[in-house]
């Protein structure tokens, strides 16, 4: 059976995975972009946005791993859309333009039904209203022998952790203190969930920590 993984999830030194007050202007919340500085200069990221160059090394390796080997993705509603409540604007098709970076079936958790959206590059957004386990069942079926990635945001990762459904997590601990935002670990007992550190490496920009069962 495929594994369920979190990859390339950036957190601050004080445990926040996103800044407060997400909006169209601040998709990652205020100051949220600061958490991801380790990735922006990598060859992987620059290729993804259609630019040449970029760094190799530790950050490049973890950035590449964060998107490799996945046959399906699961996102929370706020990773797709800054709005709340019923779908008021069905012309909105995500933050990424016509060719999102997933290139595989991508299941979006929501309370409000919406027809699937086929995008360029092989990404299809499928909206799931029946909860985290139903989304995972559909994602596993779509992924085949490949893994399923829980792409975020923070509360989506927390829901899958609380349900005991995550096999491996890669956190990029950034040298940033946010003070407020979306807390990743509040009320989460990782050892009780059977998760322990199996790998850690530090670069100039982040400390990469992998936990697994």
pLDDT tens by residue, 78-125:
999 988 899 988 899 999 999 999 999 999 999 999 999 999 999 999
Supply the mean pLDDT for the chain.
Answer: 95
Task: List phi, psi (to 5°) of 31.
Answer: 70, 10
Q: Check: pTM over 0.85? Answer yes or no.
A: yes
What are the CA-CA distances from residue 148 to residues 41, 42, 73 (Å)?
A: 26, 24, 6
pLDDT score for 82: 87
Q: What is the pLDDT of residues 119-150, one digit of tens each?
A: 999 999 999 999 999 999 999 999 999 999 99
pLDDT score for 90: 86
Least confidently predicted of 22-26, 32-36, 112-116, 196-200: 22-26
Paired residues of 149 in beta bridges? 5, 73
* CA gap 42, 56 in Å, rounded: 6
Residue 49, pLDDT > 90, answer no
What are the CA-CA distances from residue 196 to residues 3, 14, 55, 203 (Å)?
A: 16, 19, 30, 21
Residue 2: name the closest of 66, 73, 64 by CA: 73
Q: What is the pLDDT of residues 34-45, one digit of tens each?
A: 999 999 999 999
pLDDT bin (cut points 50, 70, 90) of residue 20 is very high
161 with 186: CB under 8 angstroms? Answer: no
* CA gap 211, 35 in Å, rounded: 19
Higher per-residue confidence, 207 vs 84? 207
Residue 1, pLDDT > 80, answer no
Least confidently predicted of 44-53, 58-67, 104-113: 44-53
Higher per-residue confidence, 43 vs 50? 43
pLDDT score for 83: 86
| 3-class secondary structure per residue, the chain | CCCEEEEEEEECCCCEEECCCCCCCCCCCCCHHHHHHHHHCEHHHHHHCCCCCCECCHHHHHHHHCCCCEEEEEEEHHHHCCCCCCCCCCCCCCCCCCCCCCCCEEEEECCCCCCCEECHHHCEEEEECCCHHHHHHHHHHHHCCCEEEEEECHHHHHHHHHCCCCCEEEEEECCCCCCCCEECCCCCCCHHHCCEEEEEEECCCCEEEEEEC
């Amino acid at each position: 059976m495929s594994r369920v993984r979190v990859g390339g999830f950036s957190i601050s030194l004080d445990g926040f995975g996103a800044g407060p007050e997400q909006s169209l202007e601040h998709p990652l919340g205020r100051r949220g972009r600061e958490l991801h500085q380790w990735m922006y200069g990598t060859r992987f990221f620059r290729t993804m946005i259609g630019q040449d160059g970029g760094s190799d090394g530790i950050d490049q390796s973890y950035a590449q791993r964060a998107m490799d080997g996945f046959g399906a993705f699961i996102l929370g509603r706020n990773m797709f859309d800054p709005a709340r409540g019923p779908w008021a604007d069905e012309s909105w098709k995500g933050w990424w333009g016509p060719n999102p970076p997933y290139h595989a079936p991508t299941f979006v958790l929501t309370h409000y039904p919406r027809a699937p959206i086929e995008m360029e590059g092989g990404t299809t957004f499928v909206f799931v209203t029946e909860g985290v386990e139903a989304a995972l069942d559909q994602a596993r079926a779509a992924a085949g022998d490949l893994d399923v990635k829980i792409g975020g945001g923070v509360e989506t990762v927390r829901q899958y952790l609380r349900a005991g459904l995550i096999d491996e997590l890669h956190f990029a601990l950034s040298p940033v203190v946010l003070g407020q935002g979306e807390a990743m670990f509040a009320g989460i007992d990782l050892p009780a969930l059977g998760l322990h550190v199996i790998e850690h490496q530090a670069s100039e920009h982040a400390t990469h920590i992998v936990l697994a069962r």
